[in-house]
Amino acid sequence: MRSLSTLIALLCVVVVFGGLSLSSNAQLDPSFYRNTCPKVHSIVREVVREVSKKDPRMLASLDRLHFHDCFVQGCDASILLNNTNTILSEQQAFPNNNSIRGLDVINQIKTSVESACPNTVSCADILALASEISSRLAKGPDWKVPLGRRDGRTANRTAANENLPGPSFSLDRLKKAFGDQGLNTNDLVALSGAHTFGRASCSLFVDRLYNFNKTGKPDPTLDTNYLQQLRKICPNGGPGSTLANFDPTTPDILDENYFTNLRAKKGLLQSDQELFSTSGADTISIVNKFSSNQAASFESFEAAMIKMGNIGVLTGNRGEIRKHCNFVNQKSAELDLGSEESSEGMVSSI
Ligand code: HEM
Ligand SMILES: *[C@@H]1O[C@H](CO)[C@@H](O)[C@H](O)[C@H]1NC(C)=O
Ligand SMILES: *[C@@H]1O[C@H](CO)[C@@H](O)[C@H](O)[C@H]1NC(C)=O
Ligand SMILES: *[C@@H]1O[C@H](CO)[C@@H](O)[C@H](O)[C@H]1NC(C)=O
Ligand SMILES: *[C@@H]1O[C@H](CO)[C@@H](O)[C@H](O)[C@H]1NC(C)=O
């Protein structure tokens, strides 16, 4: 009897200390699921490949979803949480509402992953993996995705509105938004290169075509032929929801065209062209380098995606592995009595 209670006490100490060391030191690791879900990469790849055959734009949409997750309280899959009594979803934040795509694809991936390895792979890791696989399938950079993120139990719509950069941001504001996340100017330019695939709605750049900065004239940093092209796609007063390709030549390929386009005054958003048209800016030489050196642009993109994927991650026994990506897990009343950290530590270790 006494030895049993000693054993239990000892076990508790092991559990608590094990949990503490995990949550304070845990690093992401590309082989995190090697033993627990070795097929996770191929499962994600198959779903993304199938979906993108019918909808090539989905590769861009999935890439963006990971970005919009990581800039808001870290890469914790908070963007996937739906409205409930306790959650004010980020999906209706201004940069996301009627704009983000691919939530259903992530749910499809999660369903397949759950049937192969239940309660093991987080939705935040699925977003990171889907983003890398999308980049690969779009003939872009590839990298080994560090894994082991856990899912948050909260969302923050205010943070989504405040942290995500807008299409009319000046270079200073872009740098500030990225700097706040620990990303530097090289990261900003490299990651903006994602705007070489996917689409943007006319409403987000139409002012540049007809009435830039309330001047009654187009944006002077816009090439005149490109201006005419865009005016055909987005007539003045036309529907704001019409889509334009970010890259007119290879709209679904993740290549270095973005940077050559900027040099030719063919950036689609003001925030794109700012990287090259702001006089004296340190971004100009980076754009020049990336446009003439695909290897350099890919290398910086890979490194910056890994850096972005590390923002504010929950590891060890923090957060949880959601069963459904759109909802936090139900907790029983008695577990809710303990503090979040310790109750989860016990559950995950038993
Ligand atoms: C630098 C600041 C950025 C700004 C101001 C910005 C803004 C935007 C805007 C306004 C759109 C169009 C949304 C719509 O039409 O509904 C868009 C699309 C997109 N963004 Fe960004 N973005 C930025 C950075 C990034 C980064 C870092 C990534 C990824 C690493 C990214 C990936 C994408 C992709 C792939 C699309 C196309 C999505 C699709 O077609 O579904 N963007 N972005
Ligand atoms: C979550 O919300 C999205 C819209 O934001 C909706 O399309 C989706 O069906 C919802 N998911 C569930 C499981 O209700
Ligand atoms: C999101 O978009 C829908 C549909 O256009 C709109 O009815 C709703 O008011 C928007 N939500 C927010 C919070 O702006
Ligand atoms: C949500 O984000 C805002 C803006 O970043 C922040 O001020 C606020 O404290 C956050 N709310 C919670 C509950 O974390
Ligand atoms: C827009 O106009 C304001 C005031 O007229 C000016 O200070 C600002 O620099 C302009 N912005 C751009 C991007 O031209």
Taking only the tens place, the pLDDT of each residue in 139-167 is 999 999 999 999 999 999 999 999 999 99
pLDDT of residue 20: 42
Give 165-307's CATH code, choosing from 1.10.3720.10, 1.10.420.10, 3.30.2350.10, 1.10.10.10: 1.10.420.10
Say yes or no to pLDDT of 17 above 70: no
Among the listed residues 195, 197, 156, the one whose alpha carbon sits nearest the alpha carbon of residue 69: 156
Per-residue model confidence as pLDDT tens digits over 277-305: 999 999 999 999 999 999 999 999 999 99
* 153 CA → ligand 4 middle, Å: 14
pLDDT of residue 349: 36
Say yes or no to pLDDT of 24 above 80: no
Q: Which two tokens stand for residue 312?
A: 């504010």
Task: For residue 168, say whether it is annotated as part of any ligand binding site.
Answer: no
Cβ of 200 closer than 6 Å to ligand 1, yes or no, is yes
Task: For residue 41, say whether it is annotated as part of any ligand binding site.
Answer: no
| C-alpha dihedral, 137 to 142 to 146 to 149, nearest 10° | -30
Query: Would you list the domain boundaries of the chain?
Result: 40-162+320-348, 165-307
Mutate to test the pocket of ligand 4, among 86, 158, 176, 180 (most ligand atoms within 8 A of CB): 158
* 147 CA → ligand 2 middle, Å: 26
Confidence band, pLDDT 50/70/90 cuts, at residue 332? low
Mutate to test the pocket of ligand 2, among 111, 326, 328 (most ligand atoms within 8 A of CB): 326
Q: Which atom of ligand 1 is nearest to the CA of 204?
A: 10
% of the chain beyond a pLDDT of 90:
87
Q: Which residue has the tokens 């910086």?
A: 300
Which residues, other chains included, contact 42 with Cβ-Cβ below 8 Å and sequence gap of 6+? none
Which residues, other chains included, contact 262 with Cβ-Cβ below 8 Å and sequence gap of 6+? 272, 273, 275, 276, 287, 291
Which residue's C-alpha comes closest to atom 3 of ligand 4? 159
Say yes or no to pLDDT of 4 above 80: no
Distance CA 228, CA 224 (A): 6
Distance CA 234, CA 269 (A): 13
The three-state secondary structure class of 330 is coil
pLDDT of residue 40: 98
Distance CA 162, CA 164 (A): 6
Beta bridge partners of 245: 199
CB atoms within 10 A of CB 94: 13
pLDDT of residue 23: 42
Distance CA 250, CA 345 (A): 49
Higher-confidence position of 192 and 2: 192
Mean pLDDT of 8-37: 64
pLDDT of residue 331: 80
Distance CA 126, CA 107 (A): 10
Say yes or no to pLDDT of 49 above 70: yes
Which residues, other chains included, contact 111 with Cβ-Cβ below 8 Å and sequence gap of 6+? none
Higher-confidence position of 338 and 57: 57
Mean pLDDT of the chain: 91
Distance CA 247, CA 192 (A): 13
Least confident of 7-21, 49-63, 175-189: 7-21
What global pTM score does this model have? 0.91
Mean pLDDT of 66-74: 98
Say yes or no to pLDDT of 34 above 70: yes
Cβ of 181 closer than 6 Å to ligand 3, yes or no, is no
Give 40-162+320-348's CATH code, choosing from 1.20.200.10, 1.10.3370.10, 3.40.50.720, 1.10.520.10: 1.10.520.10
pLDDT of residue 146: 98
pLDDT of residue 5: 55
Q: Which atom of ligand 3 is nearest to the CA of 157?
A: 13
Mutate to test the pocket of ligand 2, among 103, 106, 110, 325 (most ligand atoms within 8 A of CB): 103
Active site residue 324: no
Say yes or no to pLDDT of 214 above 80: yes
Cβ of 326 closer than 6 Å to ligand 2, yes or no, is yes
- Residue 331: left if φ>0, alpha if ψ -120 to 50, beta else—which one? beta
Cβ of 82 closer than 6 Å to ligand 2, yes or no, is yes
Q: Which atom of ligand 2 is nearest to the CA of 107?
A: 13
Burial (0-12, 13-18, 19+ Cβ within 10 Å), 330: exposed
Distance CA 126, CA 87 (A): 21
* 245 CA → ligand 4 middle, Å: 34
